[in-house]
Amino acid sequence: MGLDHTPEKKDEETDLKLRIHQRGQIKRRVTLINRSLMEAEDDATKMSLTLLKVFQKKLDVHYQEYTAVHREILEACPASKFEEQDEMLMAFDSLHIEALERIELLSAKLTPTLAPIHSTVNAPVIVQQQPLRAPIPSFDGKVENWPKFRTMFEDIVVRSNESDAMKLHHLDKALIGDASGWITAKIIQDNNFHQTWKQLKDQFENPRVIVDTHLAGLLELKPIPKRNHKDLMELVKTIHRHIGGLEYQGIQVDAMSGLLLTKIITARLDDQTLQLWERAQEHGQLPDFNETMKFLQSECQVLERFQNRPQAATGKEGSPKPSTSKLPSQRSHAASPAPSLHSCFICGESHRHFECPVFNKLEPARRSEKVKELKLCFNCLRSGHRSRECQSNKTCSKCHRKHHTLLHEDTNPVPAKPTIPMPRQTPPYPITDRFSRRLRCL
């Protein structure tokens, strides 16, 4: 029985080889067209608009022939060979799209060289310019980035006059990250861009999922542990991105949501930025979300200018480094509540105010003026309260009043008493040798 089926199997193998050969011949013809287009890119005189139109029609015919033969090969070959055959289709599709793209570029390049047959001296000159080719946006599969991608891709690609094959090519290149691989060989084979674009919108254009994603992003804002330009700018950008995504869905920030957002945002700020924000608020007035965002943007600009400023004189080479040992005035207040370890209000470095070398070089009167100017406590040099409200038990080590030792001023300095040398005392009677020997024996 097996011998009876041998001629039939040979016929099937021969038929499969014939179709594979036909498919290879079709690919060869497309390759020759692509090669001619490549030569025309170097020398435009070898090409005309009429020949470009002929090439485009041939490419369309070859694509239909190739896909038809490819389907017959898939029906004849075993399932284990499907992946190999699909790779052949993908290679042909890339070659076909490359040829179509060269036709588009050469058509735009040759169009301005055409001159009207009938022209007069007074006729206006019309210059046809090549249309601008904007970069194709990309989409990483995150639903919060879909609205922006959809708007840009529709303006640049969907509403263009390019063929469906070119639009599918651009769409395949635009999908990256988790969205990559969404365009399969079957979609390219069907060559139906509009149906593919509709399926993609149904997949990622879910208003509820988009809104939930943006709300979760606002609720999970990362706190800023230390005041710096990078983290504060990242916080502002994240807020703007999520608020913009919600506004695109028609959800605006009103009075109540603005208060909630302000509470969430300020809870993520570092201590120093939060203190500056509190000082900017008017007493008895509810905070405003838009004003809070303006404040944060302003602080970003301040930090950016501060971080880019030249190094201070205390940090130049050759200058003595400030001693790390504490002064007596500092040790007297060391047990007080530790001030913020963020940037110093006086010089901007990372140390506490009473350890600031610039502050310590000032005269006591000038130190008091600086403390008053910065609205710090005169006792512990911290912000947020006055000296009479200070919880620290430490006082001045010189006069024991409730102010920091660095702010102490000597009103009536007491002159130092001269040391009077004491006269040398002599024994009231001479010490004999016998008496001295007895003393030594003792």
Residue with the bigger pLDDT between 2 and 366: it is 366
In a shared domain, residues 100 and 161:
no
In a shared domain, residues 252 and 200:
no
What is the model's pLDDT at position 186? Answer: 73
- Domain stop point among 54, 89, 110: 110
In a shared domain, residues 105 and 170:
no
In a shared domain, residues 201 and 286:
no
Amino acid at 347: C
In a shared domain, residues 105 and 30:
yes
Asked if residue 88 is part of any domain, the answer here is yes
Lowest-pLDDT range of 193-202, 245-254, 263-272, 404-413: 404-413
What is the model's pLDDT at position 415? Answer: 54
In a shared domain, residues 15 and 94:
yes
Q: How confident is the model at residue 265 (pLDDT cuts 50, 70, 90)?
A: very high
In a shared domain, residues 289 and 359:
no
Give percent of the chain with pLDDT exceeding 70: 76
Asked if residue 180 is part of any domain, the answer here is yes
Asked if residue 59 is part of any domain, the answer here is yes
In a shared domain, residues 14 and 106:
yes
Expressed in percent and rounded to 5, the helix, strand and coil fractions of the chain are: 60, 0, 40
- Domain stop point among 174, 190, 205: 205
What is the model's pLDDT at position 434? Answer: 57
Cα(98)–Cα(27) distance, rounded to whole angstroms?
13
* Paired tokens of 235: 């916080």
Cα(151)–Cα(171) distance, rounded to whole angstroms?
13
In a shared domain, residues 13 and 105:
yes
pLDDT digits (tens, 9 = 90+) for 367-401: 888 888 777 887 887 777 777 778 777 788 878 78
Asked if residue 317 is part of any domain, the answer here is no
Say if CB 272 and CB 342 are below 8 A apart. yes
Residue with the bigger pLDDT between 328 and 237: it is 237
In a shared domain, residues 106 and 164:
no
For residue 174, give the nearest of 144, 148, 202 by alpha carbon.
148
Cα(103)–Cα(408) distance, rounded to whole angstroms?
85
Asked if residue 121 is part of any domain, the answer here is no
Residue with the two structure tokens 């600009």 = 301
pLDDT digits (tens, 9 = 90+) for 172-182: 888 888 887 77
Tally of domains within the chain: 4
* Position 99 pLDDT exceeds 80: yes
Say if CB 402 and CB 390 are below 8 A apart. yes
What is the model's pLDDT at position 325? Answer: 47
Residue range of the domain that includes 168: 143-205
- Domain stop point among 189, 205, 221: 205
In a shared domain, residues 222 and 199:
no
What is the model's pLDDT at position 125? Answer: 46
How many other CB atoms are found less than 10 A from the CB of residue 63? Answer: 21
What is the model's pLDDT at position 3? Answer: 46
pLDDT digits (tens, 9 = 90+) for 21-48: 888 889 888 888 888 888 887 777 777 8
Among 16-25, 117-126, 327-336, the range with the most confident prediction by mean pLDDT is 16-25
Residue with the bigger pLDDT between 82 and 435: it is 82
pLDDT digits (tens, 9 = 90+) for 318-342: 444 444 444 444 444 544 444 444 5
Q: Specify the DSSP element, H or E, that contains 161.
A: none
Asked if residue 53 is part of any domain, the answer here is yes
* Position 113 pLDDT exceeds 50: no
Asked if residue 343 is part of any domain, the answer here is no
pLDDT digits (tens, 9 = 90+) for 266-296: 999 999 999 999 988 888 889 999 999 999 9
* Verdict on whether the full-model pTM lies above 0.85: no
The number of C-alpha atoms within 13 Å of 419 and in the hemisphere containing its C-beta is 1
CA of 197: how far to CAs of 93, 153, 406, in Å?
19, 10, 72
In a shared domain, residues 195 and 225:
no
Give percent of the chain with pLDDT exceeding 90: 10
Cα(442)–Cα(434) distance, rounded to whole angstroms?
13
Asked if residue 431 is part of any domain, the answer here is no
Residue with the bigger pLDDT between 46 and 150: it is 150
Cα(90)–Cα(168) distance, rounded to whole angstroms?
13
